[in-house]
Amino acid sequence: MSLPSGVFVPEPGDDALTSAMVSDSLDELGSRAQVLSADILPLFDGTRVFGRASTVQFVPTEVDSDRPYDDAISYIDSLGAGEVAVVATGANLSTAYWGELFSAAALGRGATGVVTDGTIRDVAKVEALRFPVFCAGRRPIDFRARMKIESVHQRVLIGGVTVNEGDLLLGDVDGVVVIPHEIEVQVLIRARTRAAKESTVLSELLSGKSLRVVWDTYSVL
């Protein structure tokens, strides 16, 4: 698999990009199924994540071990600056896959957040760290002898969307959208243009211009 080179560095003004803008830009390019399922939500208000995917796949197990966390430790220690931990579980909600200490370690390595179709724990402590988390719920149960890591840095399916190592993810209050690496340049150009237009559109609508006139002028809603 050909991976993106270097750390993704958002451009000035990219904090104005939203998941809706990116989703619309993907639609324009014919990629119409890139938004994760609606049950994967931000853990706390104000959460936003934007960065490259670093993927890991969990699967069920009943085998215990004297070193049950070795694979998870190695994965988290592999996270780089600007990366998003993408924790795929097959939508298995039986255990928590992430918590306070994983968040602290990821934060210390410069990761920008975690997205999972599973549940997390230590919610109050993770929120206190302000580490961005998007997940399908909360549960205090440890994954030891219940789930194990099957693969890392490989293609995964999460929230109904295929995510490849190095794809860009943007998540906010509306949800999480995946930008495939092979079209990220085109998507970002369109999304950035849309963001610039929306500022003007908003101003003109608030000043009293009709929605029809604004739409006919800018083709943005």
CATH of the domain at 56: 3.50.30.40
The end-to-end CA distance of the chain, in Å, is 37
Q: What are the φ and ψ backbone dihedral angles of 115, each rounded to 5 degrees?
A: -125, 125
Average pLDDT taken over every residue of the chain: 94
Percent of the chain at pLDDT > 90 equals 85
- Distance (Å, whole) CA 92 – CA 108: 27
Q: Give residue 109's domain range.
A: 35-179
Question: Minimum mean pLDDT among 6-15, 39-48, 184-193: which range?
Answer: 6-15
Rounded Cα distance, 190 and 28, in Å:
9
Q: What is the pLDDT of residues 122-168, one digit of tens each?
A: 999 999 999 999 999 999 999 999 999 999 999 999 999 999 999 99
What's the pLDDT at 36? 98
Check residue 198 and give its pLDDT.
83
Q: For 36-43, what is the mean pLDDT?
A: 98
Residue 206 included in any domain? no
Domain count, the chain: 1
Q: What does the buried/exposed string (b/e) look like for 64-98 if buried means 16 or more CB atoms within 10 Å of the residue's CB?
A: eeeebeebbeebbeebeebbbbbbbbebbbebbbb
Q: What is the pTM of this model?
A: 0.92
Q: Helix, strand, coil proportions of the chain in percent (round to 5)? A: 30, 25, 45
The Cα 118–Cα 87 span in angstroms is: 8
Asked if the structure places residue 2 within a domain, the reply is no
Average pLDDT over residues 25-40: 97
Asked if residue 9 is part of any domain, the answer here is no
- Whether 126 is covered by a domain: the verdict is yes
Model confidence band, residue 12 (pLDDT cutoffs 50, 70, 90): confident
Domain contains 174: yes
Say what the pLDDT of residue 1 is. 37
Structure confidence by residue, pLDDT tens digits, 75-131: 999 999 999 999 999 999 999 999 999 999 999 999 999 999 999 999 999 999 999
Q: Does 192 fall in a domain?
A: no
Residue 16 in domain: no
Structural domain contains residue 70 = yes
Give the lowest-confidence range in 8-17, 59-68, 134-143: 8-17
C-alpha 111/C-alpha 51 separation (Å) is 8
114-152 in b/e form (b: 16+ CB < 10 A) is: bbbbbbbbbbeebbeeebbbbbbeebeeebeebbbbbeb
